[in-house]
Amino acid sequence: DMPSFKKLPPADQKALLRSSAPEILVFSICCFSVQNSSGSDYLLLDKDLVISRNGRQFEVAIRNIVSFIIDTIVNPLKAILSDRFELSRLRRIILFNPAAKTTHQMLKNSPEVRELRHQEHLLLQAHTNEAPGRLGELLLLLPPLTVAGNLFVEHLHLEKLVGDTFDNLVAAELLLAMGNG
């Protein structure tokens, strides 16, 4: 529950959710994998749903994205033994990003969102104060999360584009075949 998020105008809530969704999805998968002690070669999407970096059931592009996520996010999260509070704060820092590519133009109350993000940083800093460098290690997970989120979005767009193109080609071929028959 995030009362601070609920106080934002609905248009700002929608803009923040839309722009942060890929990163939050990737981060949630990473957190689930870390909290459920997944192996070093796979991500857990659910208790029974696993994506392996070596699994042949997925195409190479997906396996490469999975490998990137495991190597740059999941393994570092495991190595620093992140706790639920830290993961929650990071998720909120991802959400309250007024500078995200699609968010900054659509936000009605950018200073308030910036302040909410700052408050989350302060909470995370206070929590990690006893461990020098820990805050930096946690915040250094954000750039790979952005990259991973973008990779998934690009892959999905490419799949849709190629799929639509393929469907259109098949439809055209069927129409031509029906016209000649």
- C-alpha Rg value of the chain to the nearest Å: 20
The number of angstroms, rounded, from the C-alpha of 37 to the middle of its chain's C-alpha atoms is 19
DSSP letters spanning 77-141:
HHHTT--HHHHHHHHHHHHS-TTSTTTTTT-S-HHHHHHHHHHHHHHHHHHHTTSTTHHHHHHTT
Cβ partners under 8 Å of residue 57, min gap 6 = none
pLDDT at position 181: 43
Neighbours of 41 (CB within 10 A): 13
At 1, is the pLDDT very low, low, confident or very high (cuts 50, 70, 90)?
Answer: low
pLDDT for 35-58, tens place per residue?
A: 877 667 778 777 777 777 777 766
Q: At 146, which amino acid appears? A: T
